[in-house]
Amino acid sequence: GAAEKGNYPHFMLKEIFEQPETVENAIRGRLDHEMASAILSGIGLSPRELLQIGHIVIAGCGSSMHAGLVGEYYFEDLAGISTSVEQAAEFRYRNPIIEPNTLVIPISQSGETADTIAAVREAAAKGAIVTALCNVVGSTIAREAGRGIYLHAGPEISVASTKAFLSQVVVLLLFALLLGRNRRLSRSRGAELVAEIEQIPDLIREVLEQALEIKKIASRYAHVDDFFFIGRGCLYPTALEGALKLKEISYIHAEGYHAAELKHGPISLLDEKHPVMALANDIPGRDKILGNIQECRARKAPVVAIATRGDRAIRDLTQDVIEIPPCSRFVAPLPTAVALQLFAYYIAAERGCEIDQPRNLAKSVTVE
Ligand code: AGP
């Protein structure tokens, strides 16, 4: 009802603005300053059992899969554990390789997505250790997995996932920190990460403070038919998520690409009618994205750039810059995703779309 939306016109906007608190909820009680690590009791695995994990398989759909793709960077880089991300729909048909030391992490906001439930059952039947990331307490996936980590994002009403996605990414970072400290990650690197994680709610607040500026930029792009989103590293799955948000609520055709893939095909489409959203935060790979922006501009494609505050070189390439506070590459997907959510939201609002209930979509897809 209207009351639950408070002063917001849509649940989506309310949920976007809740994110400093929902991320705080995802972190609360889960940082271990003493050990420069994370505490995740729900995973139900002892340090010795954690040490035995040889491979991680993440399974999910839509935004939950995108969160998993960010997590892949975390687990491989921080914990040194090879990780693969499966479309949950494909998991049981691919005959996945599950060894006794494989950890399967199903990710689902609702815990009721049919394909992800099927992946959990297949993983369990093959003897995998299963630890689920769910938002809805007592949901089918949470129950069947037996162990897991709750997201604590509160009810997500908008069909487009926002706060659950952010909590998924945060919980994956905590999990990777724990696995990393259990293995090769030094105490000092762990302490740095703990400090960075604690800053995330403030980073999000700083992005939310720019909502009006993002709305202004969005209004200049509300009438386009197509959009490309490009990124590298952890910002590559963030680009996929940004494109999904835009297409699902505004009905604009949007595609997320790894920035390096542009020249393997899609660049042939670029012209003044094909704008590009470039995730150009000042993290490793930023200089290459700068080159990609130049390539887009040379083909007259309008570019919106997400950049770290004060990045003059990017301002020289395009006037449409959304500024993100400085942060490390592992944390960057979070404030960046918030900027992309607002961008998609304001475009859809300007187009008069049914934002909370886009046509043809259900909040949770309970059929195969
Ligand atoms: C996200 O905005 C989508 N509506 C959708 O992709 C969603 O993330 C997907 O259906 C998975 O849902 P789940 O997290 O509840 O399993």
Residue 49 tokens, joined:
């059992």
Q: Is the pLDDT of residue 2 over 60?
A: no
Whole-number percent of the chain with pLDDT over 90? 95
Q: Which of these, 107, 25, 97, lies nearest to 74 by C-alpha position?
A: 107
Distance 235 CA to ligand 1 centre (A): 19
ipTM over 0.90: yes
What pLDDT does 102 receive?
96
* Residue 245 alpha carbon, nearest atom of ligand 1: 2
Q: Are 121 and 144 in contact (CB under 8 A)?
A: yes
Q: Using CA atoms, how far apart are residues 283 and 278, in angstroms rounded to an integer? A: 13
pTM: 0.97
Distance 247 CA to ligand 1 centre (A): 14
Question: Which residues does a 6 A CB cutoff place in the pocket of ligand 1?
Answer: 61-64, 108-110, 113, 116, 159-161, 248, 364-365
For 26-169, where are the E strands, in sequence order? 31-32, 37-38, 55-60, 82-87, 102-108, 129-134, 147-150
For a ligand 1 pocket test, name from 161, 238, 241 the mutation site with the most ligand atoms within 8 angstroms of its C-beta: 161
Distance 363 CA to ligand 1 centre (A): 7
For a ligand 1 pocket test, name from 11, 12, 64 the mutation site with the most ligand atoms within 8 angstroms of its C-beta: 64
pLDDT in tens, 49-80: 999 999 999 999 999 999 999 999 999 999 99
Distance 188 CA to ligand 1 centre (A): 36
Q: Is the pLDDT of residue 352 over 90?
A: yes
User: How far apart are the two ends of the chain, measured CA to CA in Å?
Assistant: 30
Distance 147 CA to ligand 1 centre (A): 21
What pLDDT does 174 receive?
98
Residue having the nearest C-alpha atom to atom 6 of ligand 1 = 62
Distance 29 CA to ligand 1 centre (A): 27
What SS3 class is residue 311? Answer: coil
Q: Using CA atoms, how far apart are residues 213 and 217, in angstroms rounded to an integer? A: 6
Task: Give the angle subtended at the CA of 273 by the CAs of 268 and 277, to the nearest 5°.
Answer: 80
